[in-house]
């Protein structure tokens, strides 16, 4: 008892001292790019951390508690280029706060309840180009001290309380201003005096965004003779009459890009008639976009008459019965129809149209011929269209076509050989079903074609003359198809200019010795995800220019000793990972070659043995010549051993998948992870995963590599084995997307249970929960353990709002960055594309 009392007396003062330490000493900032980019988000900081080096160029301090910014607060970071102070509870910004930041180009103050902003708050920012002050309680541009920022190009003051559109006189001192975002304010009326500064000193490159302001009136003549680069008016009007009045108030405006309409989640007007665009006849417009408008009442014959002289017109999510009435004398050169609702394919007759984009539209399935004699660029992807007798100049009414995209459609029957389309340079059929491609040389006339994609078109290539005529082709993608007898034949004879070839996932078992003999300019060759049994380097000997060769995910056991010297001299990147190497004495020379060529072989440390059994899953680099010495194998069997095997067998049967995870932990536990996170979700939520999670994480900065079952699981392997081997073993973290569908899915619950075992083995908090929708507690209690975990742990909740998305992605990226080893890849992108808080449009 005395010893315990003394221990308590010693611990109490120590705990008191620890409790007084500031949070910043415990949670260091994440170093995104060494000595350059730092993320200090949500660290409960009350001051600028001291551990940031003077060389820092990008600093994210968002979601902290800075509250007060005094003079020369950031003078310790003279090289700073991007500073994010979003939602730091800042109320006071004193004079000279940013003094010394001569290189700062981007400053983000989003979401701070600023009460006092000194007139000299932004002094010293001689290079500032972008200022974001969204949700900062700003009530007037007159009170915003930015008149001296002559280098400013973008000013975002959206989501504030600005009632007047009056542009202060100091705008004449901002000659470089290109974008002014005033969306989601309180502006109701716009008068001539408000834009007087634009009449006195025109800002020719200025773009204005007034979306989500409750506009009631625009004084006629206000914009007369004013030139703007862009103007956006979306979800501004409470009635069709108000919209017509305001459009008429724009009379005399000369504008490059005008956007009208509404937002998907901000619909105010139910129906439209053909007269609502009549006021546009008094404007000079170069490019026009209209978005998210419901069905039009009556005939839409004269709807676009006032836009006959526009060069570029874009229709986004518009409900129109047809566009049959478009006049031939319209001067449109570029027409986009995206995610619109049509009753039938528009039979256009526009003599001046050069570019036509018709994608992701609904309500049509059959392609209809049109007459566009000047057309050069045609994009028809993702429409679920069927084509019969494709393709010739009569289908599109032009012989000038250079770009044709028919990807992600339904059945396309090739009934002609592109007669009249000899100028085509780009042709894309990927993920559409092609028929009759083996009937004749369908590409015979396309001697100017440079890019061809027939990936995943459900074809088996039988006809050896399939690519005859493609003498100028530089890129050929044909992944996901098949060949007769699983043999790649000599079908590239005329493709002497080819530089990129993709024949991955074609089930290839053999390659003809003459397959690549006519490709001297080939630089990139993808042979991955096939069934090749050996690395036949003689095949690649004629490829003098080859730099990149991918033979991963095959069944390669070794290469013949005499062939190892036949690889092209320019080859600098060779991927042989995920093959079935035989680490036996018969292939001793090949195994030694692997060790000698570590600089050439990508991921050589991940090349593992498949046989013999005693070396299975061991690194190829660990093979030693001494293993070739014969040794005696002594097998002893006893009753105790048999009993032990029986007991283990029973346990393995009961806890098979958990033991499978434990067995593989020795293999993967100490190595680098292939993926940043394995995503567990219901197939019913796949649209959200593809369109939101994958897009924002894999295409963001920094990018994260996700493991997804539909893309990354190995075909032919059991689902459970894929989940464990490809999902858990190769991922740093696990993302669990919880929804009603998730709870009702036995597979999802199985993956979640394995994830708990994975987390226990890894000894770290590696599971990130995302609640995709609000769940009923009665449903959630069906999974007791999941209910307890969500009750005790912090989880992310998806909210499809501007602020909700902003907070969600930042918190998720922070969670994924924790423990992530830095990679030099993407350094340039991370420096030039910082995370910025902007207003969603």
- Determine the pLDDT at residue 819: 73
| pLDDT for 830 beyond 50 | no
Q: CA-to-CA distance for 322 and 568, rounded, in angstroms?
A: 57
Tens of pLDDT, residues 275-289: 778 889 999 999 999
- Determine the pLDDT at residue 208: 96
Least confident of 438-442, 514-518, 771-775: 771-775
Which residues are within 8 A (CB) of 365 and not within 5 positions of it... i.e. 6 or more apart? 384, 385, 386, 410
**Residue pointed to by tokens 């397959």:** 515
Find out whether 247 and 254 touch, Cβ atoms under 8 Å: no
- Determine the pLDDT at residue 246: 93
Cβ density class 518-527: b for 16+ within 10 Å, e for less: ebeebbbbbb
Question: In which band, very low, low, confident or very high, does the pLDDT at 833 lie, cut at 50, 70 and 90?
Answer: very low
Stretch 654-667: mean pLDDT: 55
Q: CA-to-CA distance for 414 and 446, rounded, in angstroms?
A: 14
Question: In which band, very low, low, confident or very high, does the pLDDT at 1 lie, cut at 50, 70 and 90?
Answer: very low
Strand-strand pairing, 581-582 and 609-611: parallel
Question: In which band, very low, low, confident or very high, does the pLDDT at 826 lie, cut at 50, 70 and 90?
Answer: very low
Least confident of 556-570, 618-632, 636-650: 636-650
Find out whether 69 and 88 touch, Cβ atoms under 8 Å: no
- Determine the pLDDT at residue 749: 78
| pLDDT for 495 beyond 60 | yes
| pLDDT for 794 beyond 90 | no
Work out the mean pLDDT of the chain and round it to a whole number. 84
| pLDDT for 192 beyond 60 | yes
- Give the single-character DSSP code of 503: -
Question: In which band, very low, low, confident or very high, does the pLDDT at 5 lie, cut at 50, 70 and 90?
Answer: very low
Tens of pLDDT, residues 287-313: 999 998 876 655 555 678 888 889 999
Full 3-state SS string of 198-237? HHHCCCCCCEEECCCCCCCEECCCCCCCCEEEEEEEECCC
Stretch 183-205: mean pLDDT: 89
User: Model pTM?
Assistant: 0.68
Strand-strand pairing, 548-550 and 433-435: unpaired
Helix axes 746-762, 656-668, angle to 10 degrees: 40
Find out whether 517 and 494 touch, Cβ atoms under 8 Å: no
| pLDDT for 213 beyond 70 | yes
Least confident of 48-57, 458-467, 505-514, 639-648: 639-648
- Quick check: helix, strand or coil at residue 135? coil
- Determine the pLDDT at residue 828: 41
Q: CA-to-CA distance for 601 and 604, rounded, in angstroms?
A: 5
Find out whether 558 and 533 touch, Cβ atoms under 8 Å: no
- Give the single-character DSSP code of 295: P
- Determine the pLDDT at residue 350: 85
Q: Percent of the chain having pLDDT more than 90?
A: 48
- Quick check: helix, strand or coil at residue 294? coil
Higher pLDDT, 405 or 397: 405
Tens of pLDDT, residues 440-477: 889 999 999 999 999 999 999 999 999 999 999 999 99
| pLDDT for 323 beyond 70 | no
Cβ density class 140-156: b for 16+ within 10 Å, e for less: ebeebbbbbbeebbbbb
């Amino acid at each position: 008892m005395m010893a315990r009392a003394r221990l308590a007396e010693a611990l109490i003062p120590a705990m008191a001292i620890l409790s007084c330490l500031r949070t910043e000493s415990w949670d260091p900032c994440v170093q995104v790019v060494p000595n350059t980019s730092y993320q200090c988000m949500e660290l409960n900081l009350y001051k600028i951390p001291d551990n940031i080096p003077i060389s820092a160029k990008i600093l994210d301090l968002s979601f902290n508690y800075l509250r007060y910014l005094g003079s020369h607060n950031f003078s310790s970071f003279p090289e700073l280029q991007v500073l994010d102070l979003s939602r730091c509870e800042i109320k006071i910004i004193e004079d000279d706060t940013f003094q010394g930041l001569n290189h700062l180009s981007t400053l983000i103050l989003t979401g701070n309840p600023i009460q006092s902003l000194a007139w000299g708050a932004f002094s010293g920012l001689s290079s500032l180009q972008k200022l974001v002050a969204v949700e900062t309680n700003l009530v007037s541009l007159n009170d915003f001290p930015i008149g001296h920022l002559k280098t400013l190009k973008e000013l975002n003051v959206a989501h504030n309380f600005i009632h007047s559109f009056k542009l202060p006189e100091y705008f004449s001192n901002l000659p470089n201003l290109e974008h002014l975002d005033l969306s989601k304010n309180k502006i109701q009326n716009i008068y001539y005096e408000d834009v007087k500064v634009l009449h006195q000193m025109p800002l020719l490159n200025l773009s204005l965004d007034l979306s989500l302001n409750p506009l009631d009136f625009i004084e006629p003549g206000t914009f007369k003779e004013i030139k703007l680069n862009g103007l956006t008016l979306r979800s501004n009007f409470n009635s069709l009459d108000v919209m017509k009045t305001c459009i008429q108030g724009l009379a005399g405006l000369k504008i490059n890009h005008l956007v009208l309409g509404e937002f998907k989640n901000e619909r105010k007007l139910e129906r439209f008639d053909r007269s609502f665009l009549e006021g546009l006849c008094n404007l000079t417009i170069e490019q026009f976009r209209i978005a998210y408008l419901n069905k039009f009442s009556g005939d839409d014959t004269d709807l676009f008459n006032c836009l006959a002289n526009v060069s570029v017109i874009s229709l986004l999510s518009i409900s129109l019965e047809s566009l049959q009435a478009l006049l031939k004398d319209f001067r449109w050169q570029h027409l986009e129809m995206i995610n619109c609702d049509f009753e039938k394919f528009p039979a256009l007759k526009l003599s001046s149209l050069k570019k036509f984009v018709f994608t992701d539209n609904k309500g049509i399935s059959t392609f209809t011929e049109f007459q566009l004699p000047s057309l050069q660029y045609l994009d028809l992807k993702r429409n679920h269209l069927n084509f019969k007798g494709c393709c010739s100049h009569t289908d599109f009414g032009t012989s000038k076509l250079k770009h044709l995209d028919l990807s992600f459609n339904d059945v396309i029957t090739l009934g002609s050989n592109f007669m009249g389309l000899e100028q085509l340079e780009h042709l894309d059929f990927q993920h559409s079903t092609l028929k009759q491609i083996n009937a004749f040389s369908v590409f015979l006339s396309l001697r100017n074609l440079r890019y061809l994609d027939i990936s995943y078109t459900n074809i088996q290539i039988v006809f050896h003359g399939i690519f005859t005529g493609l003498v100028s082709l530089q890129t050929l993608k044909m992944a996901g198809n098949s060949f007769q007898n699983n043999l790649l034949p000599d079908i590239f004879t005329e493709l002497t200019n080819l530089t990129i070839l993709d024949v991955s996932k074609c089930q290839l078992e053999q390659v003809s010795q003459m397959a690549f003999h006519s490709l001297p300019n080939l630089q990139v060759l993808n042979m991955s995800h096939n069934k090749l049994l050996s690395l036949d380097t003689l095949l690649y000997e004629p490829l003098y220019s080859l730099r990149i060769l991918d033979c991963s995910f095959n069944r390669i056991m070794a290469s013949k000793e005499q062939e190892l010297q036949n690889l092209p001299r320019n080859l600098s990147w060779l991927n042989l990972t995920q093959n079935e190497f035989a680490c036996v004495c018969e292939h001793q020379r090949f195994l030694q070659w692997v060790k000698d060529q570590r600089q050439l072989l990508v991921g050589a440390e991940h090349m593992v043995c498949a046989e013999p059994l005693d070396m299975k899953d061991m690194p190829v680099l660990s093979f030693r010549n001494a293993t070739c010495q014969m040794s005696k194998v002594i097998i002893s069997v006893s009753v105790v051993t048999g009993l032990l095997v029986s007991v283990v067998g029973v346990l393995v049967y009961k806890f098979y998948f958990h033991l499978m995870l434990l067995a593989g932990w020795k293999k993967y536990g100490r190595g680098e992870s292939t993926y940043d996170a394995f995503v567990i979700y219901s197939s019913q939520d796949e649209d959200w995963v593809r369109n939101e999670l994958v897009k924002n994480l894999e295409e963001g900065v920094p990018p994260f590599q996700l493991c997804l079952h539909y893309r990354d699981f190995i075909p032919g392997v059991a689902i459970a084995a894929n989940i464990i081997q490809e999902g858990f073993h190769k991922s740093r973290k696990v993302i669990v997307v919880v929804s009603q569908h998730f709870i009702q899915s036995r597979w999802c619950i199985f993956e979640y249970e394995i994830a708990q075992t994975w987390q226990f083995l890894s000894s770290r908090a590696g599971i990130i929960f995302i609640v995709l929708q609000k769940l009923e507690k009665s449903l959630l209690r069906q999974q007791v353990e999941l209910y307890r975990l969500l009750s005790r742990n912090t989880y992310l909740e998806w909210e499809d709002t501007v602020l909700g998305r902003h907070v969600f992605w930042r918190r998720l990226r922070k969670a994924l960055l924790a423990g992530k080893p830095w990679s030099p890849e993407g350094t340039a992108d991370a420096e030039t594309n910082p995370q910025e808080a902007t207003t969603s449009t």
